[in-house]
Amino acid sequence: MRKHLFLMLMAFFTINVSSQTKKPSKILSKSPNGYVRCYSTEYEKNLQKKNNRRAKTDGFENWISDKINRKKFFNNRISAIKTIPVVVHVINKGEAVGIGTNISDAQVISQITTLNNDYRKKTGTKGYNTNPVGADANIEFALAVRDPNGNPTNGIDRISFNVNSWTDTQIEAVLKPSTIWDPTKYLNIWVTPDVITDIGEVLGYAQFPEASTLDGLNYPPFTANTDGVVIGHQFFGNLDYDDGSFNLDPTYGYGRTTTHEIGHWLGLRHIWGDDTCGTDYVADTPVHKTENYGCFTHPKPNTCTPATADEMFENYMDYTSDTCMNIFTINQVDRFNAVLANSPRRKELLTSNALTPVTLYANDAELKFSNVNVEASTTCKKATANVRLINRGTSNLTTAIISINDAGTNYNQSWSGNLAPNKETLVPITLLGTSLSNNVTIGVSSVNGDVDARNTNNADSFSYEFLAAQNFASSTVKLELQLDDYGSETSWEIVNSEGIVLYSGDSYEDIENPAVKKFTFNLPNNSCYTFKIYDTYGDGFCCDYGNGYYKLTTDSGVVMVNQNTFNKDKEIYPFILGTLSTQENNKLGVNIFPNPVNDVLNITKVSNNATFTIYNVAGQFISKGKVTNNKVNVATLAKGVYFIEISEKGATSKMKFIKK
């Protein structure tokens, strides 16, 4: 009887730059350099379509008008200076801090400074104006000093992805929900590589505030896990404060994109009302015919009905150049206050503990995974991870020992350097990759030669798929393949380290009890290969329609893999032919003793600058570190045969030893 027919829907997140760029569905007015200045209006329309209980434009405006008219929000708390805690998620491509998309701390701080200049109309800054309706919003922004777990932070959260650009769909479905901090305590700002939407590349966009149905009764928080502001990395910061590390667009590099988008986040609409001579629902802003680009001189009249004698092109909610903007009006500030007093998540920010300092200690290291580099198609390569080592202590961080547990194997890795407080560095670690499902946990064993004073921020974990290649002394590989009754579902291939398919098989018959198929392959030595086998139906060879298997052996009969329960859509098996990882040499002329060894392996003729790497006989990485006082501790190794590689001044020695 044939298998039951079913449909399988698999959602996945694919990072592919060429497929991210969408064909524009419509043409908007773009800035002279081709960017779409703001995507907030289009984004809000999409949210309204997806969430039928989200307030439409008229509903929101009726709600906020009522709040403003009743002036419930004008109390001491609201009329005083309001400080909003901010976390800036710097989404980068794995560069060092201050390089490319991983913008510097100084660039982030320059943006916060600019926001405070603009929202406070600070005298002596470019955020000051003399317009009669120009207003100090009494709103300030501060980077958080307490993270969601109660640990210290500088309010800058760096996260690495191997992504050149992001679509708005990826941002909303994957990036925001996986990285957001509690939006009732933090204004979340995501600073990302290029932001690509259906209308082109945009400078930024914001999530408009929620309305509430009744006092004390809010709409369901459909958008709680996406609330915040998105800004392209070249538009976040202010060139006026450039210390030489800034990576900013010269046209939009003065911080007003973020000022503009937070205006949306606080309830403002574009000054031209996103229509020809439209309304922004603000009484003291003149009607604009449309958006303005560049800068102008007054008066700038238009032909709306009635005509406007002079447009307020300096308003932050226009599209003029960064250096031209400097006005929020009195009635725009009224909207800010109404939102901060009444809108879900906005009103809670004013009582957030994110700006309450955390007790600091001299020695406090924070560890977080940055990214993991795993190449599933060429798994002869090592899986590696970048670990973010952050100094949260008051003393400079000079040494740390990182403890690693990878798939049940414990090993340590030492780091040395000089990190000032709240500075960080990437520490690469090699992962063991013992199976197609690996869990890794990292922690801090010591900081500056002492115990880490805070244990709540020095551990992280990650899961990854990787299978380290085993090494076989052979130039011939034999494949034995027993299919099930539906051979047409099965295919296989052998791929070299460059990803080239050397051998493959498919288009097998659907017959009961098929005969075993046998193949012999001659492959060059000292190279890496991957055997892949697929089942289009997703059930492998097992079990109701024949018990199949596949087996790889060397020419001498050594079994490389014998898999009897292939019960999924694919399996991957990497292997090395030759002795790439186990050839002994002694270019440094060192000696090791005792051999066999119990606990400590002594190394002669090297300095404390020498490093070591230990492999098992299959060439798999086990541990690495510095040779300290001519000694390497091997007490934690299981009994067996190993190779130790000693490196110093560009030369290496590799020798075999036995752990008793």
- Verify whether residue 261 is a known catalytic residue: yes
Contact call for residues 225 and 177 (beta carbons, < 8 A): yes
Distance separating alpha carbons of residues 591 and 59, to the nearest angstrom: 80
Distance separating alpha carbons of residues 246 and 244, to the nearest angstrom: 6
Strands 187-192 and 204-206: unpaired
DSSP letter for each residue of 623-651: EEEE-BTTEEE-TTSPSEEEEEEEEETTE
Strands 204-206 and 229-232: antiparallel
Contact call for residues 541 and 567 (beta carbons, < 8 A): yes
Peptide bond between residue 209 and the one before it cis (omega within 30 degrees of 0) = no
To which residue do tokens 């580099």 refer? 373
Question: Which residues on adjacent β-strands are paired with residue 503?
Answer: 494
Strands 82-92 and 139-143: parallel
Torsion of CA 41, 46, 49, 54, to 10 degrees: -60
Residues in the chain, overall count: 660
Cβ contacts of residue 258 below 8 Å, gap of 6+?
Answer: 111, 114, 115, 189, 204, 229, 231, 235, 236
Which residue in 443, 534, 442, 522 sits closest to 487, CA to CA? 534
Query: Which amino acid is residue 347, in one-letter code?
Result: K
Q: What are phi and psi of 432, to 5 degrees?
A: -80, -35
Distance separating alpha carbons of residues 104 and 427, to the nearest angstrom: 18
Helix/strand/coil percent split, the chain, to 5:
15, 35, 50
Cβ contacts of residue 31 below 8 Å, gap of 6+?
Answer: 37, 251, 252, 293, 319
Cβ contacts of residue 501 below 8 Å, gap of 6+?
Answer: 493, 494, 495
Distance separating alpha carbons of residues 366 and 541, to the nearest angstrom: 46
Indicate which residue of 172, 261, 291, 648 is catalytic. 261
Which residue in 388, 367, 373 sits closest to 161, CA to CA? 373
Stated as kind and residue range, the H or E segment containing 137 is none
Contact call for residues 193 and 93 (beta carbons, < 8 A): yes
Residue 252 tokens read as: 């939009």
Contact call for residues 85 and 182 (beta carbons, < 8 A): no
Based on C-alpha coordinates, what's the Rg of the chain? Answer: 31
Please give the positions annotated as active site. Answer: 261
